[in-house]
Structure 1
Amino acid sequence: MKKSAKITNQSIESAGLPKDPKHVIAEYIWNGFDAKATEIDLFIDSNELGYINQISINDNGEGINLDTLSYSFGNFLDSIKKNSLKRSSYTRGKKGKGRFSFSLFATRASWDTTFKEGENLKTYRIQIDRESKEQYDMSESRLSESKNTGTQVSLEGVFGLNAIFFESDEFTNFLAQEFGWFLYLNKVLNYSIRINGKQLTYDHLIQETDRLSWTTYAPDGNSSYNFTINYIRWNQQIGDRYYYYFLNSEKKEIAKVLSSFNNNAINFHHSVYIDSSFFDHFEQEDIAVSTDDNLFSGKTKQVVYRNLLAELRDFLDRKQKKYVLEHAVAVKLVDLEKKGLLPIYTQSEKDEKRKRTLLALIQEIYIVDPRIFFGIKTDLIQTYLGFIDLLLQSEKSKDILPIIEQALPLTDKEKNRIKQVLAHASIDENNISDQEK
């Protein structure tokens, strides 16, 4: 039975469909997780020469309910998923674009889906051809012989790809990067992705982990809540922004909040997972999505939640400073020198010490706030560093700390570290002056 979508083939092509086969496959995997699947199986049916007969993506989700088909497949740039609350990792819909993505490298896509209708399981097929994407064909539904719901997406008439593409490290690393954070989020629930039967792993993307427990007391002092914190620093960008993920005692995510370290420009790739019975009695409907502070709007637990956020920010701030000190600052100092943004120094002992002092000062400033040089024109950076260098050579070096404080809020510890750098610079300058006499 032919059905028409409220869209033309031309407008679909101009709507920004994925241009990379990896992203196409990721779209279909996300659609499976959107349908509440816990297992996704990607199968590549190919011959010994690598020619692909068919690509299939199977999931054990809820299937596509026949009652919603005309809305989900009949509308484009519109989707039931778009009306879902946005604080969930389980809805990644792209306004209906995903179902048309196959046209990048396949001539036909079909969905064999099984869903629950009352006490029965029903099954039917949907099919879309590349040359007439404004129409979809559907079969009559019938009772399913399967005992489980789910959907199999089959892509046929594959062109421009071979089996080697799907066996490559580039492809599997992309999927690990795209889904690793999500699989970790649901690892206790045994979420998995398999490629031709082989489990997708993401451990190689994890650079650092930490696990700790906190106890936070309610304002009345009569109740307390335990929180288990799992921190991960990834060695590359992940398929989500950087969030605090809140899980209940069943290890199910009920909310996610941006970590406030999303615009640091230093490759501090991180995720923080927090699970606690504190979140047990909250549903997505209870979550106000306007601001972070309103997560438990009108609830007695508001103070506990705010204290938790403050503790998490302090914790992540320490982790970022550790990362900057051990990794990012060295990269930044080399970058500044390579781009010629440092003052010009000779090879004299005096200039060598001046350079070391400036670099030490830059290091301390960068640890305080790695964004200090982000988004600033190079000539301004060069002028700023030259100005600091001139102050270091004069009696005005004591004014450097107040100048820095005007731009950056400093803790007592950070002030002391900068004071030590300036004190060493003063001692070195006096020693060199004495030697010259």
Structure 2
Amino acid sequence: MSELKINEQSIRTELKSFEDKPYKCLFEYVWNSFDAGASIVRIDYDIPLEGIGFVDNLRICDNGKGWDFTNQNAETFLSSSKSKINAHYKTLPKGKFGRGRYVFIWVAEEIEILSQNKQIILNHSTHIHNGLTTNEISGTEIHFRNIYQNLSDSLLFVEALFKEFLFEFSWFLESNTNFEIIINGIKLDSQGNVKYERVITKNDIPEELVKDVDSDIEIRIILWDEKPSEFSKFYFLDNNQSEIFKLNTGFNKKRDDFWHSVYIRSPLFNKMIINDENHNGQFSFEFGNPKIKRLQKKLIEYIKELLASVRKPYLVQQSEELLDELKEDNILPKLHDFGIYDADSYGDLIKTIYTITPSLFTGKGVSEKKFICATFAGLLSTQDDILIKTILEQLQELTEDEKSELLDILNRTSLSSVVKTIKEIDHRLDVISKLKFLITDLEKETLEVKHLQKIIDQNFWLFGEQFRLFSSTEGALKKVLFQYANEILGIEEPELNTAPNGEVDLFLTKTEMVGENIQKNVIVELKRASKKLSHKNEYQQIDDYRTKILEQNICNGENQYWEFYLIGKNFDDRIQELIETNKHHGEAHKGLTMNVKNGKVKMYVRKWSDILEVEWGTKMRYLKEKLEIQSSEFDKSSTDDIVDGILK
């Protein structure tokens, strides 16, 4: 028995990215098989009766060259016997350090590896148990012993398992059609993730491009139904379907879900030369025959034109699906509130904007999409088509054809008050920027009531778009509750069970129509930027407000929801413990410290940085970048002047 000069903790640190990702752990061993020259990889396991219980006898077998067990010292075992060259221009080898063989520590107690009629066993202690096997082993077999619940569950959900394998390997199997992955006797079919495929032969390519080329050329463009693990690339294959070279297609940063791969097969690439003269990681390729060297650039340009022609109708189709999704998820605004009565025209506008700038919608959350849709709903009240054209040109440079298409739609719609909408965007950017400066650079001079309270009173959208400001510090809690019962709940002569004292900084409320009226209320307690929130003092204060409010019968209706927020720059360890204790509710990122009455009463402690930078900063940043709104200059010497500037 020999021992590696590493330990379990160092391996866990090295392989941290595989934690809680059982599929990824399996992928690593499959890639190891392909790195070892395998063309067939089999994954087999026994499923318990009726699918209840643990899977058993998990093994991965391949027909590759096998593992080299002859040298097991720390250096070679961790550095691997694979190629030392980091081949950016080719898919294989995927691994080069040899550490991936230890990913089993996240999914099993140990693995037994059989290869070249030898045996080793790896476990968490990093000891290597050597042995011989009488079985004739072709390739490599890996047997997983005592697998964990997370891996067993992943294997039981067969449909999800195949889908994850498709995302990881579909692009690779299409590039290497003689390779196979077989799971419990079923071959993984990469076509299961193919949305669209187009094949171009030499006869389809313009004659002036290939007139001097004697060899056959086949180009396959594949659009993927769901995003694969690899970026969109060109794959240059020789006549034996072996990958010679790959490079990005140039469409990866469009952010439009146009997931694609392009496979170019030709005997020409048998003579392809890889250039890495400067050894700087920048690779290029050229053909050995100078006569056809010109094909290099022109062929790529031609394929990019093909991709662009495929992408355009794809985006049009995607825009239809986007609009349906926005409707289904109730993201579109109430058009009547904007004076819009032609829903079809508004829908056409949203679809056109997507085809021109898909990045406005791709990868955005619900709140961001709502903001975008509301912004463009505001574009439908004036008849100034020149103004809307200018706005969209700020979002992205338009081609002449796209400008013509857009203006055609705009001529069939009414336009909105763009200036008012953009002014609101600019104002919000200004508020966020100045608040951040007050809290970070002028934290000692920035006070609660004199500064922060004044700003928030006029900009309570920071806590929710649809809320209305019901009360600020002008009234005591007792008076505020009387007014709330009278004006919001419609109780003419309300009575309080106790006599609450104190003053809340901010009381927001809104009514939602969800079957029956739902009354949502938010109490906010603001603390100056230099104040570190403590559980004993500031948190106890907001908790006392919660107790006093919920003591009142008028505040405990079945349709009433209450949220209490304590806002400051930072907080103590006791508050952090409360957030950790309540993280199972799924709102740790919002600082949730209490969730009672089935979610009808919640308490939060939040940092100013989370609200201004993480939450609203993310929401507004992309609009600022797309609209190219420059941050306004302001005098940073006086706290009072900054606050006055916001209020004006």
TM-score interval, smaller chain: 0.7 to 0.9
Cα pair distance change 1:378/1:368, threshold 3 Å: closer
SS of 2:65's equivalent in the other structure is coil
Cα distance in 1 between the residues matched to 2:327 and 2:157: 40
Alignment partner of 1:55 is 2:96 = no
Cα pair distance change 1:28/1:246, threshold 3 Å: same
Which residue in 1 is equivalent to 2:352?
Answer: 364
Which residue in 2 is equivalent to 1:32?
Answer: 33
Cα distance in 1 between the residues matched to 2:162 and 2:331: 39
Which residue in 1 is equivalent to 2:388?
Answer: 400
1:245-275 CA distance string (max 9 Å, x none) = 1111221111121222223444333222111
Shift of 1:296: 2.9
Q: Which amino acid aligns with 1:312?
A: I
1:174-210 CA distance string (max 9 Å, x none) = 22332222222211x2x11122333223433222222
Deviates more, 1:6-15 or 1:218-227: 218-227
Alignment partner of 1:195 is 2:165 = no
Alignment partner of 1:175 is 2:165 = yes
Q: Which one of the candidate residues 223, 228, 245 is aligned to 2:235?
A: 245
TM-score scaled by length of structure 2:
0.54
Shift of 1:215: 3.4
Q: Which amino acid aligns with 1:398?
A: I
Gaps of 5+ in 1: 115-122, 428-437
Which residue in 1 is equivalent to 2:300?
Answer: 309
Aligned residues: 403
Cα pair distance change 1:168/1:337, threshold 3 Å: closer
Cα distance in 2 between the residues matched to 1:389 and 1:337: 22
RMSD: 3.8
Quick check: 1:246–1:274 contact (8 Å CA) kept in 2? yes
Q: Which one of the candidate residues 296, 303, 306 is aligned to 2:286?
A: 296
Cα distance in 2 between the residues matched to 1:159 and 1:304: 53
Cα distance in 2 between the residues matched to 1:50 and 1:340: 42
Alignment partner of 1:97 is 2:99 = yes
Which residue in 2 is equivalent to 1:327?
Answer: 318
1:65-110 CA distance string (max 9 Å, x none) = 346654776326x774563312222222274332112222322212
Q: Which amino acid aligns with 1:361?
A: L
Higher relative contact order (Cα pairs below 8 Å, separated by 6+ residues): 1
Which residue in 2 is equivalent to 1:318?
Answer: 309
1:126-275 correspondence runs (5 A)? 126-130=120-124, 132-133=125-126, 135-139=127-131, 146=136, 149-160=138-149, 162=152, 165-166=155-156, 168-187=158-177, 189=178, 191-213=179-201, 214-215=204-205, 222-223=212-213, 226-275=216-265
Cα pair distance change 1:199/1:373, threshold 3 Å: closer
Cα distance in 2 between the residues matched to 1:417 and 1:179: 39
Quick check: 2:335–2:377 contact (8 Å CA) kept in 1? no
1:130-179 CA distance string (max 9 Å, x none) = 2x12x323347x9x985x85111122233436599346222222223322
Alignment partner of 1:385 is 2:376 = yes
Alignment partner of 1:5 is 2:4 = yes
Cα pair distance change 1:69/1:321, threshold 3 Å: farther
Quick check: 2:331–2:369 contact (8 Å CA) kept in 1? no
Cα distance in 1 between the residues matched to 2:414 and 2:175: 51
Aligned sequence identity (%): 23
Cα distance in 1 between the residues matched to 2:109 and 2:100: 15
Shift of 1:219: 8.3
Q: Which has the larger radius of gyration?
A: 2
Cα pair distance change 1:68/1:33, threshold 3 Å: farther
Cα pair distance change 1:53/1:417, threshold 3 Å: closer
Gaps of 5+ in 2: 416-648
Which residue in 1 is equivalent to 2:488?
Answer: none
SS of 2:253's equivalent in the other structure is coil
Quick check: 1:113–1:152 contact (8 Å CA) kept in 2? yes
Cα distance in 2 between the residues matched to 1:340 and 1:159: 41
Which residue in 1 is equivalent to 2:269?
Answer: 279
Deviates more, 1:36-45 or 1:198-207: 198-207
Cα distance in 2 between the residues matched to 1:184 and 1:221: 28
1:188-237 CA distance string (max 9 Å, x none) = x2x11122333223433222222122436788974466531212222222
TM-score scaled by length of structure 1:
0.77
Cα distance in 2 between the residues matched to 1:243 and 1:111: 34
Shift of 1:11: 1.2
Q: Which amino acid aligns with 1:22?
A: Y
